[in-house]
Structure 1
Amino acid sequence: MLASHEHYRAAVAQLNSYAHAYYVLDDPIASDEEYDILYHELKAYEHAHPDHIAPDSPTQRVGGSVLESFEKHTHLQRMWSLDDVFDIAELEEWVARIHKSYPNAHFTCSPKFDGASLNLCYENGVLVSAATRGDGIIGEEVLHNAKTIASIPLTIPHKSTIEIRGEVVIPKEDFARLNAARTKQNLPLFANPRNAAAGSLRQLDSSITAERRLLFVPWGLGFVREALSQSFYESMRAIERFGFYAPKILEAQSTQEIHAYYEQIQQERENFSMMLDGMVVMVDDFALQERLGWTIKSPRFACAYKFPAVEKITKILSITNQVGRTGVITPVAELEPVEIEGATISRASLYNYTDIEKKDIRIGDCVIIIRSGDVIPKIIKPIESRRDGSQTPIAPPTHCPECGCALVQEEVILRCCNLSCKARIVESIIYFASKRALNIDGLGEKIITQLYEEGKIASIIDLYALSVEDLLELEGFKDKKAANLITAIAATKHIALWRFINALGITHIGEWASKELDRRFGLACFAKSYEEIIGIVGFGQEMAESFVEFSAVNHELISRLLALIEPLPTGSAVGSNMDSAMDSSGGDFASSAKRPLENLTFVITGTLSVPRDDMRERLENLGARVSGSVSKKTDYVLCGSDAGSKEQKARELGVKIITELDLEKLIGF
């Protein structure tokens, strides 16, 4: 038993030193027995003195909590993606652009590890946040998992706010052991170390993350209140002194020096314990980085010098057709197994049958396959000179391999439109219940999957046959939760018709199109012909064909759902409370004669005074069509603060750009 608080603090420091040597330096300085004895003495002291527990105590790393879901986290400074260069000519061009304006600029070079990006935030020296990259602005908070990673210090000596960024990776040997264990447990295998790292980081149960030997490799900084140095190189050395793993970083002045280190890393690639997919090249001086600035998506002062894709030759043995969650048919080539960079490749996606025909790929062909960036196997082309006459053309299927329904050709893809198809059921129910569809409170992806796997539901229809007793048989359900879910499902009765149409998840038919179908035809829309549907202003051939085909294939399901839910067409008596509550403008524009934005196309970009979904709904209720991309057919681009590439595209095309104030003037409010 530790005799005093001083002894306790010394034990914390000693155990952290043992862990740093083992996990970061890969050079153990204590036996497992020594570590365990001291660790249990530490736990005993903390049990007797809970008010004395230090934030950097190794007991604070132990996983065990289970979250319902991940919270969103806004990074203090945006996380950017890097532009890629693939050969020395592109590297020379990139360096020349910088040296043209700043001839004395010098660079740092470091290995680019292949894992999952993570942003750590420390305040007053304590780790307070760990978030995934997300969209670069908002990620998912995974602090409970990050604390289980021994190479992430829980405290650092730097007391002002700082974001330290890096890659969470799993060593190759640990990846092999993890997949071997999953094989014994009859669990799906991870495709590669990157997927294993990302999957481990996003576990709701942190005890699972704790079981896997993840490593955090720093590669940069985000927000820094007090600079560590004006040099990126020196800042990374300071981070190393904080207790982080230290990747090898070299300084370089010229293209030749950068390329020499690149070739060295490439030759030593197999000796690295983690997977690499290239090298990061960075301007060293932070002040110069600021002057060089950023493009819309990446910094001008850094790039990823990627390793070339590894090519191998193998043979196509057969084709398997997979049905995706949205009904898209993807042909998958079954290959003679071939090893590429330590991974055995036996399958590769062929994307679609148009691509197969274009490349003239046949069963029995010898093909060139690459594994670009150590991750994605891809068939480049067949080797026609090796054909011996035994090869056979690959014919596209006419019917769904899961349910047998006729497939629909949509541009370059084939799709199964049958919502009752086993391959589509779970995804279709998830969308049906989502916020932008029927908004069934409490019925998220996790519960829907649970209901399906436990045999409680096999289609959307089955939601309406669920009882409280059914739910109480499931893990995690108690009386109140079960009753609330049944009430939420029942509350969808008399929902607005456009919401019902949108909830069906019909390809090319979004909220705007659903509202137009509702307004134009009401409940009769599902019986209308192609000629009648395409007569709606703004509907194109694909939209009309998709809606008519879907209505025909799913006629029985739609009829049963209509009888159960009894949705109300536009102009009917007031619908559900949910629809009234979601009209932020205080009136039902869709059922009003006042539609001042009729047939106008809008694009929304930037941060507005209201959530973007709310603005989208308001515009659509005023008659507008809201698109996700700017084109010559766009009438207005509504810009908020921090607008990006869409605003620039609008200027290039001469599309009118307006603010929220301009919008109010436009609609006469």
Structure 2
Amino acid sequence: MNLEQYKKAVELLNLYSYHYYVQDNPITTDEVYDKLYHEVLEYEENHEDDILKESPTQRVGDVISDGFSKASHLSRMWSLEDVFDADGLQKWLTKTYKLDSNISFYCEPKYDGASLNLIYENGELTQAITRGDGEVGELITQNVKTIRSIPLTIAHKDKIEIRGEVVIYKDEFERINEARLKSGEAVFANPRNAAAGSLRQLDSKITASRNLVFLPYGVGENSLEHKLLSQRMEYIYSLGFKKPPLSATCRDFDEIEAVYQEMNKKRESYAMMLDGMVIKVNEIAAQIDMGYTVKNPRFSVAYKFPAVEKITTLKEIILQVGRSGVVTPVAIVKPTNIDGVVVERATLHNFDEIQRKDIRINDKVIILRSGDVIPKIIKVLTHERKGNEVEYERPKNCPVCGSELLDEGVLLKCQNLKCEARVINSIIYFASKPCLNIDGLGSKIVEALFNAGVIQSVLDLFDLTLEKLLALDGFKEKKSRNLLNSLQNAKGCDYWRFINSLGIEHIGEVASKTLSERFGSGFIDAAKDEMVACDGVGEEMAESVLEFVRVNRETILKLQTILKPLEPKKREEAKENPFKAKSVVLTGSMSQSRDEIKEMLEELGAKVVSSVSKKTDFVIYGEDAGSKYDKAMSLGVACLSEKEMRDKIEQVG
């Protein structure tokens, strides 16, 4: 083979690949492809300087990365607003028509995979970046070059970002999981997780083995002159990218709804997983005029498919004990495949729910799974009962430690701080950042210490010694000394952190600060009416504190003696400012950490809370503001950007 023959062979191999991986229409056999591929490979081994960048041999994963560096997108990758039914679609259309009534719409599938941004310069793939936070993602170019439905070179020579979703086809997903089962590895939960996990492998050979597929859905930065999105996407497909199984241009609600119903009806027959349909204004000039909200484009929406419901059998009800002692019932059901995910558990919420729905062991039930939401039982098929169904008896004792449960009606709680189920979770919470922030005491370390019998309660942490730690597997001297230093540094913490670290049911950071400022160490002797008199502390919260203190008073006093938490200083009253005595919620990413901004606002006399309600005075938002921002807008709560907040503070001086 000479150079010209080599170039023609590479061109022919890429043509074969395009028809096989993009068109799903092979034009040769595997035998012919493999023979030509090895001829090309042999030529390249003897002529390294002649190797073409677009040669299929350059796709083979052969690099193991230490980790992925970060890279910026040329233009932001946006998330989409969701609608879930025809009414939601109509409302979105009404809102969109107010911006421009002379428009049509382009509809395409919403793939259930991992978002990816490809950057081509001078016709060559130069960067492949995960979505990340929409502005910066992980640079995974080497891995992406192994995906055969992504061209290494394209005919378009100007710089362009091509966005799409990386998916794993359903049959490939089954193949991967079967192989993982045989080798004793954990199986992937669903094709989306498998795609995302495969993309981010440090060994690109693993990515290459997974048969990932790239499906484009749009462009970012570009110099294209098309007037319609539908024309632009046809051009993208012509560059060698895979077309969607169904797309359409629509004029109005009826046509959009018809395409949606067709896509939903056919979704099971498609090779890839879909979770909805994306609708975009087709006219690019109109898109530009409509622009964006804080978090979404105004010209596009995701019309989600209905949640999937399946009938299965309730086999048993098990009990889980959380760190605060709340006992939660969980339904174990006959394994059922719902939209690519095998469901074996479903939430029962609480014990009143079991009684209200008359849920019995061996009942036929309908379970609902919607997106990433935990499956739940929505209906009991009482007409299917055969007489072997067993009524569930409300438990009276903790399933782990056997102590008597506190029955609050809706909730059952184990109040024993030494309960094995509570110990691990309560210690993890005790050491977490909003509590005592004990560096080096993460979940794996806590589990290791507990399983080794070294700690059986929070108190045991402070009896740890270097000798005890060095006697354990995996604990070397540096690691052990660092942990002991972190435990020592936890002493003298703010008193509110001490209260928060106890893990009292219903008492979070805000309530801990309130109780600390009002009572300090005297909170363990505070009366119910005194606590309820505090702003933001209700009767249920006060009862929870009283119950916790009654059961764990001795432990609290011992911890207090060990940690010597600082009694709260009386904060000087803030001078007048727009945030004084106001209820404030923070959401989104900002220039400083939210903890720092929270502290700054509290110094100004604001009360920073976690949830939005009609009583909220301000929601301060940053990039990628979420549902809190949306709720604030719907309630008419004042929303300020970080800059607007700082401007108000500066005006005060």
TM-score range with shorter-chain normalisation? 0.7 to 0.9
Deviation string, structure 1 residues 395-451 (Cα, Å, up to 9, x no partner): 443444334455566795555565655555555444444443333445556666676
* Alignment counterpart, residue 614 of structure 1, candidates 559, 572, 596: 596
Q: 1:608 and 1:274, CA in 2 relative to 1: closer, same or farther beyond 3 A?
A: closer
Matches within 5 A, 1:529-544: 529-544=527-542
Q: 1:144 and 1:454, CA in 2 relative to 1: closer, same or farther beyond 3 A?
A: farther
* Corresponding residue for residue 278 of structure 1: 276
Q: 1:417 and 1:370, CA in 2 relative to 1: closer, same or farther beyond 3 A?
A: same
Deviates more, 1:493-502 or 1:72-81: 72-81
Q: CA deviation at 1:36?
A: 7.3
Amino acid at match of 1:214: L
* Corresponding residue for residue 253 of structure 1: 251
TM-score (norm: length of structure 1) = 0.76
Matches within 5 A, 1:588-667: 591-595=570-574, 600-604=582-586, 610-637=592-619, 646=629, 649=632, 653=636, 659-663=645-649
Q: Distance in 1 between matches of 2:145 and 2:410?
A: 46
Q: CA deviation at 1:567?
A: 2.9
Q: Distance in 2 between matches of 1:82 and 1:173?
A: 30
Q: CA deviation at 1:188?
A: 4.2
Q: 1:342 and 1:603, CA in 2 relative to 1: closer, same or farther beyond 3 A?
A: closer
Q: 1:33 and 1:635, CA in 2 relative to 1: closer, same or farther beyond 3 A?
A: closer
Matched, 1:86 2:85: yes
Q: Distance in 1 between matches of 2:477 and 2:8?
A: 50
Q: 1:199 and 1:607, CA in 2 relative to 1: closer, same or farther beyond 3 A?
A: closer
Deviates more, 1:95-104 or 1:237-246: 95-104
Matched, 1:234 2:242: no
* Corresponding residue for residue 114 of structure 1: 112
Q: CA deviation at 1:262?
A: 4.0
Retained in 1: the 8 A contact 2:75–2:221? Answer: no
* Corresponding residue for residue 588 of structure 1: none
Q: CA deviation at 1:171?
A: 1.3
Q: 1:219 and 1:650, CA in 2 relative to 1: closer, same or farther beyond 3 A?
A: closer
Q: 1:650 and 1:166, CA in 2 relative to 1: closer, same or farther beyond 3 A?
A: closer
Q: 1:496 and 1:423, CA in 2 relative to 1: closer, same or farther beyond 3 A?
A: same
Amino acid at match of 1:525: F
Retained in 2: the 8 A contact 1:366–1:386? Answer: yes
Q: Distance in 2 between matches of 1:10 and 1:470?
A: 65
Q: Distance in 1 between matches of 2:193 and 2:565?
A: 43
Amino acid at match of 2:244: P
Q: Distance in 1 between matches of 2:631 and 2:277?
A: 31
Q: 1:100 and 1:663, CA in 2 relative to 1: closer, same or farther beyond 3 A?
A: closer
Retained in 1: the 8 A contact 2:532–2:539? Answer: yes
Q: CA deviation at 1:626?
A: 0.4
Sequence identity percentage: 43
Q: Distance in 1 between matches of 2:39 and 2:404?
A: 67
Retained in 1: the 8 A contact 2:347–2:374? Answer: no
Retained in 2: the 8 A contact 1:12–1:42? Answer: no
What SS is found at the alignment partner of 1:335? strand
Matched, 1:517 2:499: no
Q: 1:290 and 1:59, CA in 2 relative to 1: closer, same or farther beyond 3 A?
A: closer
Matches within 5 A, 1:369-384: 369-372=367-370, 377-384=375-382
Gaps of at least 5 residues in structure 1 are 572-590
Q: 1:225 and 1:200, CA in 2 relative to 1: closer, same or farther beyond 3 A?
A: same
Q: Distance in 1 between matches of 2:40 and 2:566?
A: 65
Q: Distance in 2 between matches of 1:394 and 1:359?
A: 12
Task: Report the RMSD for the aligned CA atoms in angstroms.
Answer: 4.9
* Corresponding residue for residue 65 of structure 1: 65
Amino acid at match of 1:196: A
Q: Distance in 1 between matches of 2:451 and 2:10?
A: 45
What SS is found at the alignment partner of 1:165? strand
* Alignment counterpart, residue 218 of structure 2, candidates 212, 217, 220: 220
Amino acid at match of 2:648: D
Deviation string, structure 1 residues 320-369 (Cα, Å, up to 9, x no partner): 22345765544333335556567665543223334334434333433333
Question: How many residues matched?
Answer: 640
* Corresponding residue for residue 353 of structure 1: 351
Retained in 2: the 8 A contact 1:341–1:374? Answer: no
Q: 1:352 and 1:463, CA in 2 relative to 1: closer, same or farther beyond 3 A?
A: same
Deviation string, structure 1 residues 438-470 (Cα, Å, up to 9, x no partner): 334455566666767788766655655264994
Retained in 2: the 8 A contact 1:639–1:659? Answer: no
Q: Distance in 2 between matches of 1:457 and 1:122?
A: 56
Q: 1:419 and 1:247, CA in 2 relative to 1: closer, same or farther beyond 3 A?
A: farther
Q: Distance in 2 between matches of 1:411 and 1:145?
A: 54
Q: Distance in 1 between matches of 2:341 and 2:625?
A: 42
Amino acid at match of 1:620: E
Matches within 5 A, 1:296-315: 298-315=296-313
Deviation string, structure 1 residues 536-588 (Cα, Å, up to 9, x no partner): 343222332333434445556545544543333335xxxxxxxxxxxxxxxxx
Amino acid at match of 2:76: Q
Q: CA deviation at 1:176?
A: 1.4
Retained in 2: the 8 A contact 1:70–1:204? Answer: no
Amino acid at match of 1:232: L
What SS is found at the alignment partner of 2:493? coil
Amino acid at match of 1:662: K
Q: Distance in 2 between matches of 1:561 and 1:402?
A: 24
What SS is found at the alignment partner of 1:180? helix
Matched, 1:287 2:273: no
Retained in 1: the 8 A contact 2:510–2:609? Answer: no
* Corresponding residue for residue 585 of structure 1: none
Q: Distance in 2 between matches of 1:419 and 1:461?
A: 11
Matches within 5 A, 1:63-462: 64-67=64-67, 76-87=75-86, 104-120=102-118, 125-132=124-131, 146=144, 149-153=147-151, 162-201=160-199, 209-221=207-219, 223-227=220-224, 229-248=226-245, 249-294=247-292, 298-323=296-321, 329-336=327-334, 345-372=343-370, 377-387=375-385, 391-407=389-405, 414=412, 421-423=419-421, 427-441=425-439, 460=458
Amino acid at match of 2:545: F
Retained in 2: the 8 A contact 1:472–1:479? Answer: no
Q: CA deviation at 1:53?
A: 8.7
Retained in 2: the 8 A contact 1:498–1:518? Answer: yes
Q: Distance in 2 between matches of 1:328 and 1:303?
A: 39
* Corresponding residue for residue 582 of structure 1: none
Q: 1:635 and 1:280, CA in 2 relative to 1: closer, same or farther beyond 3 A?
A: closer
Retained in 2: the 8 A contact 1:333–1:348? Answer: yes
Q: CA deviation at 1:224?
A: 1.3
TM-score (norm: length of structure 2) = 0.78
Retained in 2: the 8 A contact 1:437–1:503? Answer: yes
Q: CA deviation at 1:616?
A: 0.3
Retained in 2: the 8 A contact 1:24–1:151? Answer: yes
What SS is found at the alignment partner of 1:620? helix
